[in-house]
Structure 1
Amino acid sequence: MLEILLCSLLTILPDYLYRRYGQGKRIGHEITLYSVWFELRWGIITCLMLAVGLITVIFYNHPSTTNATLFFRTVPIVPETNGRVAEIHARQGEKIAQGAPIFRLDSVKQEAAVETARRKIAEVDAALIVARVDIQTNEAKIQEARSALEQALDELRTKQELKARNSGTVTDREIERLENLVAGRQAAVAATVAARESAQTRISALLPAEKASAEAALAQAEIEVAKTVIRAGVAGHIEQFALRVGDVVNPFMRPAGILIPEDAGRKALQAGFNQVEAQVLKVGMIAEVTCLSKPWTIIPMVVTDVQDFIAAGQFRGGEQLIDAQQVRAPGTILAFLEPLYEGGLEGVVPGSSCIANAYTSNHDRIASGKLGAAHSVALHAVDAVGLVHALLLRIQATVLPIKLLVFSGH
């Protein structure tokens, strides 16, 4: 309507002035309700054509959408393991800090695993003490075996020396017996040395490895105990939290509630613009929004990102071919808008529906001096008609609350 009024000042009004003062025709006499179309046909047709062209220029170069929302993601409150609720630390609607406990699951089984791991560590420590004692025992046995070996060797050497002197007092049977005795004493020394080395290996390799495994099992068991206390991953508000002691929660099917981060939906606004404006929307464009939760307010914004894909074209691989006819509604170009000034979204409720305008600026292209005069004038006109869109947004911001509260029947 505003575009038609503006265009009528350049078309219908001059046509009427010519009819009135050039041809002497007056409203109510020659120009009536029945003859106005014939008398002002040139002005009316030109007005409609100019209005259509102006509306096209405005809406193409200065995109507008009512599909703008402060989307935010919620965090489900779920444990990492199944369990029965033993204690509840938070309440519905409560504001909670990051890392604060929300509820605790029954941890009898996990605490038993912790105690078992601790007992295993104590058992390994005791085995280390026993192994050190075994080393001392083996050292003593080695000394005893070596003494017995030396004694047997001395006796064998003595008998062999007597035998070498052709003494008839030493028989071959005696020499053989002593040699067997020496071999047995050497085997005894080797056995005691091997026993000592075995004990040393247990102390240096086996028992430390067993202790490390036991400590790892203890750490894992303590982690499992820690998992029974569900904490807030981010600071925020707890909603839909109706948990009671004795309830069974499941990480896949039964979440305990929802945690809404405190900064959710307060940094950026997502707006879906028509696909035809894909070539116009650019990062850095100035925009304005008005939201239902903060009526009669225009918030300056800036386009910080434009999504390169349209959600309507996505598909999930399956056993059936995708038919393009299944895409019923054309998707939109998703643009991310952030406040131009700090605190711009203050007071706007996350999830609120908004109306957004984005404005094309050709100032840099015009100031570059690389364009012709006609091209520069055309771009000046394109930038100037953005004022009409800004005025329309302010009219919408003024009328929208009244429309919803008075004329919607709610």
Structure 2
Amino acid sequence: MLEIALCSLVTILPDYLYRRYAQNKQIGRDITLYSVWFELRWGITTCLMLTVLLITIIFYYHPSSTSVTPLFRTVPILPEEGGRVSEIFVKWRDEVEKGQRIFKLDSAKQEAELEVAKRRIEEVDAAMVMGEADLAAAEGQIQQAKGAYQQSLDELATKEELRLRNADVVTVREIERLRNIVDGRKGAVVAAEAAKQAAVTRMSTLLPAQKASASAALQKAQVDLDKTVVYAGVSGHVEQFILRVGDIVNPFMRPAGILIPREAGRTQLQAGFGQIEAQVMKVGMAAEATCVSKPLTIIPMVVTGVQDFIAAGQIRAGEQLLDVPLAARNGKLLVFLEPLYEDGLDGVTPGSSCIANAYSNNHDRMEKEDLGFFTRIYLHGVDAVGVVHAIILRAQALLLPIKTLVLSGH
């Protein structure tokens, strides 16, 4: 109606003035209810055509959407592993802070594994103490073997000297026996040194590696024990939390409840605009919105994001070939709106139904580009008719409580 009223000012009104003053036709005598359609046919026809053109320009360059809502996501309250609930720290609809405990699972198994890991570390520490004693024993064995080896060498040298002086004093058999003893004691020295090297290697490599493995097992056991306590990942309040002690919670089948973040749905609106407006919607456009949960209020907004694909075109791999006519739907262009001023969405309930308008602005284009005269006139007209949509939005905001409370029957 507003578009028709505006268009009639430049079509029907001039036609009537021409009939009235140029042709001297008067309302009620020449221009009646039955003849007005013929007398003002040029003005009425032009008004209808201009109205359709104006509505098209307004809705294309200043798009509107009734599919607007402050969407928000919920965080499922789930443990990382399944188990039986042993303790609960919060109640239904309790406010929780990030990092606060929510509930605890039975941890007898994890505590036993932690205790085993601690005892394993103690075993490795004891083995390291024993390794030091083994190293000292190896040192003593080396000294003992070297002493015996040196004694056999001295005895062999003495016997060989005596035989050189008098061959009848020492037999060949005795010399061979002593040489075998020397070789054996030399091998004992090598074996003692190898035992010492093995003890050193065990102290420097094996036992530290075993202790590192035991420490890692201890940390894993501690992590597994910590997982039995479920903490709040974000600040918010708990909903649908009907958990009781003894219930079994599974991360794949049964969540304990949901956690609604404190800032959920309070920072931006998500609006679905028509696909034909994909070339018009740009980041930075001015916008306005009004919501059912906050009636009689116009919220200044700004477009902060435009999704560059339509969700209706999504496909998934399946056992049947895609039939495009069956899959095609009239999807919406997703646009993100944020309040122009801080706390602009205060009072708007998350999930509320809203109406939003976006307004094109060609001022920067006219300043930076060398446009023709008629193009500038057209762009000025496009920006000017945005006020019509702004008036319509305010009328919708005024009628929204009546429509909701009276006409809908609620």
Global fold match (TM > 0.5): yes
CA apart distance, 1:62: 0.6
The correspondence of residues 198-237 of structure 1 with structure 2, limited to 5 A, is 198-237=198-237
The 2-side partners of 1:28 and 1:327 are apart by: 60
Find the counterpart in structure 2 of residue 122 from structure 1: 122
Find the counterpart in structure 1 of residue 401 from structure 2: 401
Unaligned runs of 5+ in 1: none
Deviations 1:29-55 (A, max 9, x none): 544443332333222212111110110
Letter in 2 for 1:195: A
The 1-side partners of 2:303 and 2:337 are apart by: 5
Deviations 1:173-211 (A, max 9, x none): 111211122222222222222111111111000000000
Find the counterpart in structure 1 of residue 175 from structure 2: 175
SS at match of 1:10: coil
SS at match of 1:409: coil
Find the counterpart in structure 2 of residue 95 from structure 1: 95
Deviations 1:62-119 (A, max 9, x none): 1111111111121111111111111111122111111111111111111111111111
Q: Identity percentage over the alignment?
A: 64
Find the counterpart in structure 2 of residue 351 from structure 1: 351
The 2-side partners of 1:196 and 1:395 are apart by: 96
The 2-side partners of 1:367 and 1:150 are apart by: 105
The 1-side partners of 2:314 and 2:25 are apart by: 63
Unaligned runs of 5+ in 2: none
Find the counterpart in structure 2 of residue 257 from structure 1: 257
1:186 aligns to 2:183 (yes or no) = no
Deviations 1:277-317 (A, max 9, x none): 11111111111011111111101111111111011111112
Give the RMSD, CA atoms, in angstroms. 1.6
The correspondence of residues 2-17 of structure 1 with structure 2, limited to 5 A, is 2-17=2-17
Find the counterpart in structure 2 of residue 302 from structure 1: 302
Find the counterpart in structure 1 of residue 324 from structure 2: 324
Find the counterpart in structure 2 of residue 85 from structure 1: 85
Letter in 2 for 1:242: I
CA apart distance, 1:244: 0.8
The 2-side partners of 1:211 and 1:288 are apart by: 65
TM-score, normalised relative to structure 2 = 0.96
SS at match of 1:290: strand
The 2-side partners of 1:91 and 1:100 are apart by: 13
TM-score, normalised relative to structure 1 = 0.96
Find the counterpart in structure 1 of residue 242 from structure 2: 242
Indicate if the aligned counterparts of 2:289 and 2:298 stay in contact, CA closer than 8 A. yes
Indicate if the aligned counterparts of 2:88 and 2:103 stay in contact, CA closer than 8 A. yes
Indicate if the aligned counterparts of 2:313 and 2:328 stay in contact, CA closer than 8 A. no
The 1-side partners of 2:327 and 2:144 are apart by: 93
Indicate if the aligned counterparts of 2:87 and 2:245 stay in contact, CA closer than 8 A. yes
CA apart distance, 1:18: 3.7
The 1-side partners of 2:28 and 2:163 are apart by: 163
The 1-side partners of 2:376 and 2:38 are apart by: 38
The 1-side partners of 2:279 and 2:342 are apart by: 29
CA apart distance, 1:13: 2.8
Task: Give every structure 1 segment of 4 or more consecutive aligned residues whose post-TM-superposition deviation is greater than 6 Å.
Answer: none
Find the counterpart in structure 2 of residue 382 from structure 1: 382
Letter in 2 for 1:326: L
